[in-house]
C-alpha cells in the first residue's frame, strides 16, 4: 500500500527527523568533558556579492592546550545543531590532539545554535533565511581559517585538517574540494554526499535500516515491525481507536491522526539504526548500548498477523522501553523539539539545496513511501515561499564525478542507514581513501574510544590517524604559504567591519 498523500505534507518532519532527528536530539551540555574556550568571529553575511558588508557573530570553540607553533589545526565543520553537542560527541579529535600537537576547533554552522545572523528574525522570510546555504557556511569556515592563520603567529603555517560527521562530513569533504589552498585533508565520516535527487536509490536509507535491524536484532523482529503499519490503521478504525493508540504508546497529547504516529515510528526506527553504538550514548537522545537489539528483544517471536492489537502493543512497549530509558519521561511527545530553531533551519535547508529524496518500496520493514519532487516543491513553497533547486548540488558539489578529489577519507559504517548515499568503493574516488566499517553505526569512528568498540572501528581510527599524519607531512613539505604581512589585509578589513557595523 502506498503511503497516503497526506504524508507529503508531513515530509518536512520526516526528512528533518531522519537526517537531523531533533525530536530525539540531546540538548547542548551544560558542563563539558573537554577543555575549550568559546569565542565569536565576525563573519560576512554574504560572501558572494558586494551588495552589503553586514556581518554576524559566528560561534566557535577552540583549544590550544597541546598546540605547538605550526602544529596542525583540527577543524570540525559544524552541522545542523548547536556546536557544543558535536564537540562533546567527537572524542576522536580530542584524543589525537596531544599526539599531533594540534589545536582543536569546532565552528558552528550559520543559522544553528547561537550563530543566528538576524537573531530572532533569522527565519522570518526568504530575505533573511536566504543566506542559509552550505556555500555560505563553507565560506564562513574559510574566512575563520584565514583570519586565524593571519592573526595568530603560531598558526601561520599550520596545516588544517577538516573533520565532520553526517552533514558535517559532507561539509568537510566539500571544504577540501573548494578550498584545497587552506585545507590539507578531510575526514568525512558517514557523509551521504550522494543523497541528492537522481544520484542514488531513494529507498537506500530504509533498506539499510531494515538490514541493520535484521543483523543487530533478528529477521523475526523486522517481520513483526513490518506488520505494525497496517495494524495501527486497523486499530485506529476501531471505536476510540485513536485514544487506544495514545494509551498504548503513552502519548502526551491526543492523537488526531494515526499517520502522525506512523511518521514518528518511521523516524524513531531510523534513529535507532543511526545510533546503534555498542555502549550507552547521549548523542541523539540517551539510549542503551546496542539499542536495536534492545528494541527487538520484545519482538523476537512471531505474532499472528490478525491480532492487530498485539502487534501494536509489542511495538509500543519496545518504543517506550527506549524513550523512557532514563526513567525521566512519563509520556511520548510526537512533536518533541520540532518547533525549535535548529529543526526549522534544517527543514529550510531541505527546501533550498539539501533536498533529500527518501522512499520505500515496502519490501523491508517499512511501509511503501513515495517521494514526489513536484509535491515536495509545492510544500516548500506553501510553507516558506521558496522552491528547492533540486539539481543544483550536482553542479556545485561535483555530483558523482569526484575522481579529481584528493586527501579525503570517506568512512562509512555498513549498518548506518546513511551509508546508502556515501562513497563506498575506491574506484568512486581514486584520489581519496575509502574506509568501510562492517559493524559501524553513524560516524562511530569519530566518537571517543571505548572498551566496547568493535575491532573494525579501532582499525578505522588508526588508518584515519595515519592519513592525517601523511597530510600534515605533505603540507609542511610544500613551500610556505602567503606571507603574513600580505594576509593581514583581510584582518584589517574584518577589524573595520567589527568597528563600523551597526546592524548587530
**pLDDT at 284 (0 to 100):** 83
Residue 306 confidence (pLDDT): 59
Structural contact between residues 191 and 445, judged by C-beta atoms closer than 8 angstroms: no
CA angle 346, 352, 356 (to 5 degrees): 65
**pLDDT band at 32; cut points 50, 70, 90:** confident
* pLDDT of amino acid 430: 96
Distance of CA 251 to the CA centre of its chain: 27
Q: Specify whether the CB–CB gap between 368 and 206 falls below 8 A.
A: no
* Residue 304 located in a structural domain: yes
Span 104-123, average pLDDT: 97
Residue 355 lies in a domain: no
Residue 488 confidence (pLDDT) above 70: no
Q: Are residues 308 and 456 in the same domain?
A: no
Domain boundary among 288, 323, 358: 323
For residues 238 and 297, state if they share a domain: yes
Which domain covers residue 207, as residue numbers?
Answer: 201-255+272-323
Contact 312, 232 (CB under 8 A): yes
Residue 164 DSSP SS3:
strand
4 in a structural domain: no
pLDDT at position 293: 97
Task: Write out the DSSP string of 236-296.
Answer: HTSTTHHHHHHHHHTBSS--S-HHHHHHHHHHHHHHHHHT--SS-EEESEEE-SSHHHHHH
Are 123 and 191 in the same domain?
yes
Whole-number pLDDT of residue 19: 44
Q: Quote the pLDDT of residue 21.
A: 47
How wide is the angle at C-alpha 207 spanned by C-alphas 372 and 194, nearest 5°?
Answer: 60
CA-to-CA distance for 133 and 115, rounded, in angstroms? 14
Are the C-beta atoms of residues 173 and 141 closer than 8 Å to each other?
A: no
Mark whether 167 and 211 lie in a shared domain: no
Average pLDDT, the chain: 89
What confidence score (pLDDT) does residue 476 get?
A: 96
pLDDT given at position 490: 52
Claim to verify: residue 47 and residue 185 sit in the same structural domain: yes
**Nearest CA among 408, 407, 410, 414 for reference residue 456:** 414
What pLDDT, in 10s, does the model give residues 279-292?
999 888 889 999 99
**Same domain? 215 vs 158:** no
Residues 6+ apart with CB under 8 A from 382: none
**N- to C-terminal Cα distance for the chain?**
52
Query: Does residue 352 belong to any structural domain of this protein?
Result: no
pTM greater than 0.85 = yes
- 3-state class (DSSP) for residue 49: coil
Neighbours of 121 (CB within 10 A): 12
191/206 same-domain check: no
Cβ burial, residue 289 (10 Å; 0-12/13-18/19+): middle
Give dist(CA 225, CA 258) in Å, integer: 16
In a domain, 350, yes or no: no
Kindly state whether residues 145 and 220 are assigned to the same domain: no
Half-sphere CA count of 412, side-chain side, radius 13 A: 22
For position 479, which CATH number holds?
3.40.50.1820
Residue 151: burial class (beta carbons within 10 Å; 0-12, 13-18, 19+): middle
C-alpha 96/C-alpha 104 separation (Å) is 10
> Strands 103-107, 73-77: parallel, antiparallel or unpaired by DSSP?
parallel
What is the Cα–Cα distance from 487 to 167, expressed in whole angstroms? 30
Domain with residue 307: its CATH number is: 1.20.120.980
What gap in Å lies between CA 163 and CA 186, rounded to an integer?
6
Q: Which residues pair with 409 in a beta bridge?
A: 187, 433
- Asked if 206 and 222 sit in the same domain, the reply is yes
- pLDDT tens by residue, 350-364: 999 999 999 999 999
pLDDT at 22: 47
Dist CA 11 CA 348 (whole Å)? 12
Same domain (yes/no): 207, 237: yes
Determine the Cα–Cα distance for residues 356 and 166; give it in Å rounded to an integer.
13
* pLDDT grade for 479, boundaries at 50, 70 and 90: confident
| DSSP of 359-378 | -B-SSSSSPBB---HHHHHH
Query: Looking only at Cα atoms, what is the longest distance across the chain?
Result: 77
Extended strands (E) in 108-231? 160-165, 183-189
Give domain status of residue 459, yes or no: yes
Determine contact, residues 252/323, Cβ cutoff 8 Å.
Answer: no
- Regarding whether 190 and 41 lie in a shared domain, the answer is yes
- Mean pLDDT over 338-342 rounds to 47
Q: Are residues 282 and 244 in the same domain?
A: yes
Averaged pLDDT, 327-342: 70
Residue 358 lies in a domain: no
Number of domains in the chain: 2
Choose among 400, 278, 379, 352: nearest CA to 130.
352
* pLDDT tens digits along 36-73: 999 999 999 999 999 989 999 999 999 999 999 999 99
Domain finish residue from 323, 348, 382 = 323
* DSSP letters spanning 300-321: -S---TT-HHHHHHHHHHHHHH
Backbone φ, ψ for residue 496 (5° rounding): -65, -40
Q: And the C-alpha cell for 321?
A: 522501553
CA distances from 182 to 75, 96, 122, 481 (A): 11, 21, 29, 9
Place 330 in a pLDDT band, splitting at 50, 70 and 90. Answer: confident
Q: Are 167 and 193 in contact (CB under 8 A)?
A: no
Per DSSP, the chain holds a count of helices (H) and strands (E) of: 18, 10
The answer to the question of residue 112 being in a domain is: yes
**Which residues participate in catalysis according to the annotation?**
166, 416, 442
Give the pLDDT score at 432: 98
Amino acid at each position: 500500500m502506498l503511503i497516503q498523500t497526506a504524508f507529503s505534507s508531513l515530509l518536512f518532519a520526516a526528512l528533518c527527523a531522519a537526517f537531523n532527528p531533533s525530536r530525539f536530539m540531546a540538548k547542548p551540555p551544560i558542563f563539558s568533558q573537554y577543555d575549550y574556550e568559546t569565542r565569536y568571529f565576525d563573519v560576512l553575511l554574504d560572501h558572494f556579492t558586494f551588495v552589503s558588508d553586514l556581518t554576524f557573530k559566528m560561534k566557535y570553540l577552540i583549544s590550544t592546550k597541546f598546540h605547538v607553533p605550526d602544529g596542525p589545526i583540527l577543524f570540525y565543520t559544524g552541522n545542523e545543531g548547536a556546536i557544543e553537542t558535536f564537540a562533546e560527541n567527537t572524542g576522536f579529535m580530542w584524543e589525537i590532539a596531544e599526539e599531533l600537537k594540534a589545536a582543536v576547533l569546532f565552528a558552528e554552522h550559520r543559522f544553528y545554535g547561537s550563530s543566528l545572523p538576524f537573531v530572532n528574525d533569522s527565519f522570518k522570510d526568504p530575505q533573511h533565511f536566504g543566506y542559509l546555504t552550505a556555500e555560505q557556511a563553507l565560506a564562513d569556515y574559510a574566512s575563520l581559517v584565514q583570519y586565524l592563520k593571519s592573526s595568530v603567529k603560531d598558526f601561520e603555517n599550520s596545516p588544517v585538517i577538516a573533520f565532520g560527521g553526517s552533514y558535517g562530513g559532507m561539509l568537510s569533504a566539500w571544504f577540501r574540494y573548494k578550498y584545497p589552498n587552506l585545507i590539507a585533508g578531510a575526514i568525512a565520516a558517514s557523509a551521504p554526499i550522494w543523497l541528492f535527487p537522481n544520484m542514488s536509490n531513494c529507498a537506500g536509507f530504509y533498506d539499510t535500516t531494515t538490514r541493520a535491524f535484521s543483523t543487530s536484532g533478528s529477521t523475526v523482529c523486522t517481520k513483526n515491525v513490518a506488520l505494525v503499519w497496517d495494524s495501527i490503521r486497523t486499530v485506529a478504525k476501531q471505536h476510540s481507536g485513536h485514544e487506544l493508540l495514545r494509551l498504548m504508546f503513552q502519548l502526551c497529547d491526543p492523537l488526531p491522526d494515526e499517520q502522525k504516529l506512523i511518521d514518528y515510528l518511521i523516524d524513531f526506527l531510523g534513529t535507532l539504526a543511526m545510533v546503534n553504538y555498542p555502549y550507552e550514548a547521549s548523542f541523539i537522545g540517551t539510549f542503551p548500548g546496542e539499542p536495536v537489539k534492545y528494541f527487538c528483544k520484545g519482538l523476537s517471536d512471531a505474532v499472528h498477523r490478525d491480532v492487530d492489537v498485539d502487534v501494536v502493543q509489542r511495538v509500543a512497549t519496545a518504543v517506550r522501553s527506549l524513550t523512557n530509558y532514563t526513567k525521566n519521561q512519563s509520556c511520548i511527545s510526537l512533536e518533541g523539539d520540532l518547533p525549535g530553531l535548529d529543526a526549522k533551519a534544517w527543514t529550510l535547508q531541505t527546501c533550498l539545496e539539501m533536498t533529500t529524496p527518501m522512499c520505500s518500496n515496502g519490501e523491508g520493514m517499512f511501509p511503501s513511501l513515495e517521494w514526489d519532487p513536484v509535491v515536495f516543491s509545492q510544500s516548500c513553497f506553501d510553507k516558506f515561499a521558496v522552491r528547492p533547486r533540486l539539481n543544483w548540488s550536482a553542479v556545485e558539489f561535483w555530483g558523482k564525478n569526484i575522481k579529481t578529489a584528493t586527501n579525503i577519507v570517506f568512512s562509512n559504517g555498513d549498518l548506518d542507514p546513511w551509508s546508502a548515499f556515501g562513497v563506498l568503493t575506491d574506484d568512486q574516488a581514486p584520489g581519496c581513501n575509502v574506509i568501510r566499517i562492517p559493524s559501524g553505526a553513524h560516524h562511530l569512528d569519530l566518537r571517543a574510544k571505548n572498551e566496547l568498540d568493535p575491532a573494525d572501528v579501532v582499525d578505522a581510527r588508526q588508518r584515519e590517524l595515519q592519513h592525517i599524519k601523511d597530510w600534515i607531512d605533505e603540507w609542511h613539505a610544500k613551500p610556505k604559504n602567503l606571507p603574513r604581512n600580505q594576509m593581514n589585509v583581510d584582518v584589517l578589513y574584518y577589524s573595520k567591519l567589527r568597528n563600523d557595523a551597526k546592524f548587530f
